[in-house]
Amino acid sequence: MTGIESPWIAVPVALLLVAGGLLTLVGALGLVRLRNFQARMHGASMGSTLGLGCLVVACVIVGSAMAHRLALHALLVTVFVVITSPATATLLMRASLYRGRARSASADPEVIER
């Protein structure tokens, strides 16, 4: 009855969930692998862009299949993240740079991965 057993729904949804999960996992791995705070911020943003995007599209497909009509409200998650996350990212980046400057560290390019 629900319509999500159909392979035309289940397979793309499964692929999107795995892809979104892997992207977020790799981004999280960046928090361990990259060597300074500013570089680690780029890893975190993988989860909040394409990783989140994959999960939201999977959510829209499942929601629409179960309701037998277009259910778009999950897309609003993307809208809210897009309008809020740049503010925090910029604030964190600036805070870390000011702290670095206070410690008289240079802002020159730094090797973060060999």
Is residue 105 part of the contact set for another protein (CB under 8 A)?
A: no
Residue 109's φ and ψ, nearest 5 degrees, are: -55, 145
Is residue 51 within 8 A of residue 27, CB to CB? The reply is: yes
4, 87, 97 from 81: Cα distances, Å: 27, 10, 24
Residue 7 Cβ vs another protein, minimum distance, rounded to whole Å: 25
Instruction: Check residue 26 for interaction with another protein (CB under 8 A).
Output: yes
Q: What's the CA gap between 20 and 38, in Å, rounded? A: 23
| 5 interacts with another protein by CB under 8 A | no
Residues that bind another protein (CB under 8 A): 23, 26-27, 29-30, 33-34, 36, 38-39, 41-43, 45-46, 49-51, 53, 71-73, 75-76, 79, 82-83, 85-86, 89-90, 93-94, 97, 107-114
